A and B are shown apart, each in its own frame.
Chain A
Amino acid sequence: MALIETKDLTKIYELGWNKKVIGLNQVNLQIEEGEIFGILGPNGSGKTTCLKLLLGVLFPTSGEALIMGKGPLDVNMKKHVGFLPENPYYYDYLTGPELLKFYGRLFDLSPAEINNRTARLLEMVGLAGAKRLSLRHYSKGMLERIGLAASLINDPKILVLDEPTTGLDPIGCKETRDLLLQLNQQGKTILLSSHFLSEVERVCSRIAIFHRGNLIEQGTLKELIGQYQANTLEDLFVKSIEKFDQQHPA
């Protein structure tokens, strides 16, 4: 059984009486233990929708989302998951350590454990020097870093990251990439979404391409590049989207 799985996962947003927007259309994903899996797609292609459905923030119109074989509302499953939302934002008036403490307590961690991990994680994401700053003074990049630290407070088996490098400078991007590889080596399964091709190219073992709410391709980079006779990921990306648009005109 796959560690993360969606079965015909569909989300139709209802806007008003008669207006509907397709957020996600019958998506079937299987992510195995130990992978770094990248969801790639243009803006509005359904990446965030898919991740929110997996975590129970949104409810599917039809289909199923499963993590470790459990539905999105399963509290025990969530003990093993860390989530970093898109453009994360946290409680203005807390400091970084206070934020980690708050989340840590929700996992029933002991105060000593929380303190240990907080120190280690702040060091890891490069925020050890900003311990007393309240989050409202954080820059976008700092919020992204503290968000990553917060998503790791429970030492999760599974890490779900929505555009983890948006808002980071090139050095921050590289640090995050290295960190993800390191976490993966420690055995964590990572599911991330991105519209940065180079990022996905460098860290992901397998990718899925989303477009207009549809999963249009999935596989290893090598397989897909071969299949489309593409030169680069960018080339593959454009070709797969063009092919889909030809077959499914709006």
Chain B
Amino acid sequence: MKKSWIIALNTFHESLRKKTLYIVLVFGLVVIGASRLFSFLTAQEELKMIQDVSFSAIEFFGALIAIFGSLGAISSEIEKRTIYTLLSKPITRPHFVIGKFIGQKLILLINFVLLCLFFIGLLLFKKSMPNVEIFKALFLIYVELLLISSITLALATFTSDAFNIIFSFFLYIVGHLTSYGRQLLERTENIILKGLGDMLYTLVPNYENFAIRDKVVVGVPVSWQYVGKTTAYGIIYIVIAILIGIYFFQKREV
């Protein structure tokens, strides 16, 4: 575990210096900042607007950082051939994969925290104390981002970057639509279609589960139980993603 941590810190360290993700981060900050331009609204409406836009921006730009950050985590080590030296050290391949997972989570964490701080700063500036519901919504967004980054990283252990990016975004979109899909499927009588739909529903994580912002924005409280359940749901998928990553990387020739 210590060796994974050393690899994670190296990944994190490199990413901080590379600064490529900063562009996405800046975009996110700009969008959140822009949400306060709706000053023609009443103060109450404006606050709602700020929350709504900020949650969406944090989720969307966070997802971009999660996907683009994880995308090259493994392929860059292979392309630059740093992997040869690394694998000749006394580490196992699972150490490497887990190290990359943790490293990406650290990168995501720092970007996420910056976006959140900016958002909360904006609320405070508008003289609105963020309540615990807001933190619940942010927390679940973070769990969702962890999951998105884990899936991209798992894919990175056995596919090309091009395929990975397409598939990651595909999953991101489908993962937000599965509830609708399921409702549609409930109307069909076709058993095969229903079976396929159910399978897809289980395989593809339902990202909408993490989206409680609609409720938070209008002031409907969300139970801790729901937060806990959804976090567990996310962690199950994250663990599966890590195991898939380890499985494929162990067989991979670099």
A binding-site residues for B, Cβ under 8 Å? 52, 55-59, 73, 75-76, 78-79, 81-85, 87-94, 102-103, 105-108, 147, 150-151, 160
Q: Which of A56, A76, A79, A94 interacts with B87 by CB under 8 Å? A: A56
Q: Are B81 and A78 in contact (CB under 8 A)?
A: no
Contacts of B18 in A (CB 8 A): 92-93
Contacts of A87 in B (CB 8 A): 81
CB distance from A61 to the nearest CB of B (A): 11
Q: Are A85 and B89 in contact (CB under 8 A)?
A: no
CB distance from B3 to the nearest CB of A (A): 6
Q: Which of A57, A59, A85, A93 interacts with B14 by CB under 8 Å? A: A93
User: Is residue B88 within 8 Å, beta carbon to beta carbon, of the partner chain?
Assistant: yes
The verdict on A107 contacting B88 (CB below 8 Å), with A85-B81, A89-B80, A93-B14 known, is no
Enumerate the 6 nearest inter-chain pairs by beta-carbon distance, A residue then B residue, closest first: A83-B88, A93-B17, A85-B84, A78-B90, A106-B89, A75-B90
CB under 8 Å from chain A, chain B span 201-254 = 251, 253-254
Q: Which of A55, A91, A108 interacts with B82 by CB under 8 Å? A: A91
CB distance from B201 to the nearest CB of A (A): 34
For A59, the closest partner residue in chain B by CB is B253
The verdict on A52 contacting B84 (CB below 8 Å), with A57-B253, A57-B254, A106-B3 known, is yes
**What is the bound-complex CA distance between A85 and B82, given in angstroms?**
9
**What is the bound-complex CA distance between A163 and B10, given in angstroms?**
27
Name 14 interchain pairs, CB-CB below 8 A, sorted by A. Answer: A57-B83, A59-B253, A75-B91, A78-B90, A78-B91, A85-B84, A89-B81, A91-B10, A93-B13, A94-B14, A103-B85, A107-B90, A108-B2, A150-B85
**What is the bound-complex CA distance between A106 and B17, given in angstroms?**
21
Q: Are A89 and B82 in contact (CB under 8 A)?
A: yes
Contacts of B91 in A (CB 8 A): 75, 78, 106
B binding-site residues for A, Cβ under 8 Å? 2-3, 6-7, 10, 13-14, 17-18, 80-85, 87-92, 251, 253-254
CB distance from A52 to the nearest CB of B (A): 7
A-B pairs with CB below 8 Å: how many?
76
Q: Are A76 and B90 in contact (CB under 8 A)?
A: yes
Q: Which of B2, B10, B81 interacts with A102 by CB under 8 Å? A: B10
Task: Give the most central of B3, B10, B85: most A CB within 10 Å.
Answer: B85
The verdict on A75 contacting B85 (CB below 8 Å), with A57-B253, A102-B10 known, is no
For B17, the closest partner residue in chain A by CB is A93
Contacts of B87 in A (CB 8 A): 55-57
For A105, the closest partner residue in chain B by CB is B6
Contacts of A88 in B (CB 8 A): 81, 85
The verdict on A83 contacting B85 (CB below 8 Å), with A73-B92, A75-B91, A107-B90 known, is yes
Q: Which of A57, A78, A93, A94 interacts with B84 by CB under 8 Å? A: A57
Contacts of A52 in B (CB 8 A): 84
Contacts of A58 in B (CB 8 A): 253-254
**What is the bound-complex CA distance between A59 and B87, given in angstroms?**
13
Q: Which of A59, A78, A89, A108 interacts with B88 by CB under 8 Å? A: A78
The verdict on A103 contacting B89 (CB below 8 Å), with A57-B254, A85-B84, A93-B14 known, is yes
**What is the bound-complex CA distance between A106 and B88, given in angstroms?**
11
CB distance from B156 to the nearest CB of A (A): 18
Contacts of B89 in A (CB 8 A): 78, 103, 106-107
For B79, the closest partner residue in chain A by CB is A89
Contacts of A147 in B (CB 8 A): 85
Q: Are A79 and B90 in contact (CB under 8 A)?
A: yes
Contacts of B84 in A (CB 8 A): 52, 55, 57, 83, 85
Q: Which of A85, A92, A105 interacts with B85 by CB under 8 Å? A: A85
For B2, the closest partner residue in chain A by CB is A108
**What is the bound-complex CA distance between A160 and B7, given in angstroms?**
23
Contacts of B2 in A (CB 8 A): 108
**What is the bound-complex CA distance between A107 and B91, given in angstroms?**
9
Supplied contacts A85-B84, A90-B80, A147-B85, 12 more A-B pairs, CB within 8 Å: A57-B83, A57-B254, A75-B90, A78-B91, A83-B88, A91-B80, A91-B82, A103-B85, A105-B6, A106-B3, A106-B90, A150-B85
**What is the bound-complex CA distance between A52 and B84, given in angstroms?**
8
Q: Are A90 and B6 in contact (CB under 8 A)?
A: no
The verdict on A90 contacting B82 (CB below 8 Å), with A58-B253, A59-B253, A102-B10 known, is yes
